[in-house]
Amino acid sequence: MTPSRSPGSEPSRSSLFRHSDFRRFWMADSVSQAGAAVTLVALPLVAIGPLDATPFQTGLLTVFEYLAFLVIGLPAGAWVDRVRRRPVMTACVLTRAVLLASIPVAYWLDVLTMGQLYLAASGISVCTVFFDVAYQSYLPHLVGDGGRLLEANVKLEATRNIAQVGGPGVGGVLVGALTAPVAVVVDTAGFVASALLLSRIRSSESEPRGRRPGAGLGSEIAEGLRFVFGNPLLRAITLTAAISNLAAMIGASMMLVLLNGELRLSPSLCGLLFTAEAVGGLLGSMLTTRIAARVGQGPAMCLSVIVSGVLWLLALPMFQSDWRFAVGVVLQGLGWVAFMTFKINSVVFRQQLCPRPLLGRMTASVRFVVWGGMPLGALAGSVLGQSIGVRQAMWVGASGELLAVLPMLLSPLRTMRELAGTAADADDDAPTALTGPSHDGP
């Protein structure tokens, strides 16, 4: 008997680019990311330029962009596990488009304020929470598990970085030629296109299990947290990512304040830095599978965090208004080449370790810890930038990046070559089989 397949699915041995529904999903994500890459440059420059924001006010904008992960991240996961994921993603991208469209409209009416920027950033943050939880929970349903899941994550990260290569550079050019508020329109169009592509996915998503009898929201949230922090691998990966994000946001919240506000570099040059990061991410995503196969997934993730942290620390003194800026751009890009091995493999580990009924709550629990630290890091960066100086605040963040690897070095991941099994289809929290340390591993 031939097994049935949902519409749009292809035989498991074929490339995922021949999987029509994955192709639509991939295109939707890439278009959305390209638009977001423009806003990465444009939105802070709206604050710095037309609104003449201080370093603290600009950093506070970054706080609001990630605040929802800290405030509603956990209940979002429990809620997403009760509903179909694709309609959630579609609604989120359309809402983000509306919120972003309000910024150029207010600018043209001469009523734009920092309060509106904060409100729009907060609303976008809420949409991002629900979209990301639904996105990572939906992918295993779309492509299956094992090698297909790794292939899907590698392809999504690679093409996402391709889309982001031109985004920041184009954003810088648009800001210079058309002003920052107009550049935000590009992002709005990207989210609308993304929603249209998501609506064309034909395969049906299985009916969610819904709420168990007698299980309240609090107990379901607690179940997700227990799974994440009760598993030594998930716990180590989550803590490493949390420390890295907290430290990174201290510096990232001040990056454009330094480049555009203090060094007076043009928006095009500011965009060049983000383009270098995207190129580095693209190259790193292409090398991830090869690096992990050579040294083992666990050791590769540890080396990834260490090497990227060192490179970003070396890049910081190079951000000057002369030839040294080019060196800093290269070092920043190389840092992302190194970091992608951790970024991609950590997502694959989480998706393979987690039973499907817990995917939403697991993702939300991880996001709560990992992304919840980002507004705190941005707030710390804003305060430090205002009090001790912008570059000094960035030194604090860059130094903190080097501590992020400690949870993984103190876990079995340090010597573990690969994840040997998958729990994605399990109905309970049964442990996943692990491959022990290899004698030829580092």
Q: Is residue 437 part of a domain?
A: no
Tens digits of per-residue pLDDT, 163-222? 655 555 565 566 655 556 666 777 787 788 888 888 888 776 666 555 554 456 667 677
Looking at residue 433, its pLDDT comes to: 31
Looking at residue 314, its pLDDT comes to: 92
Mean pLDDT of the chain: 76
Domain of residue 248, CATH code: 1.20.1250.20
Provide the residue type at 308 as one letter: S
Q: What is the DSSP letter of 259?
A: I
Q: Is residue 296 part of a domain?
A: yes
Which value, to the nearest 10 degrees, does the dihedral of the CA atoms of residues 122, 188, 93, 153 take? -100
Q: Which residues of the chain carry a pLDDT beneath 70?
A: 1-17, 36-40, 144-147, 157-183, 204-218, 220, 356-357, 359-360, 418-442
The tokens for 274 are: 């983000």
Instruction: Kindly report the pTM of this predicted structure.
Output: 0.64
The tokens for 280 are: 């580095």
Q: Range of 124's domain?
A: 16-201+217-414
Looking at residue 163, its pLDDT comes to: 62
Looking at residue 206, its pLDDT comes to: 64
Q: Is residue 433 part of a domain?
A: no
Q: Is residue 2 part of a domain?
A: no
Q: Is residue 249 part of a domain?
A: yes
Q: Is residue 85 part of a domain?
A: yes
Looking at residue 5, its pLDDT comes to: 42
For residue 238, the Cα-to-chain-centroid distance in whole angstroms is: 13
Q: Is residue 404 part of a domain?
A: yes
Q: Which residues contact 40 (CB under 8 A, 6 or more apart)?
A: 167, 168, 171, 274
The tokens for 24 are: 């639509």
Looking at residue 2, its pLDDT comes to: 38
Looking at residue 188, its pLDDT comes to: 81
Looking at residue 224, its pLDDT comes to: 74
- Tally the domains of the chain: 1
Q: Which residues pair with 419 in a beta bridge?
A: 434
Looking at residue 430, its pLDDT comes to: 33
Q: Is residue 286 part of a domain?
A: yes
Looking at residue 212, its pLDDT comes to: 53
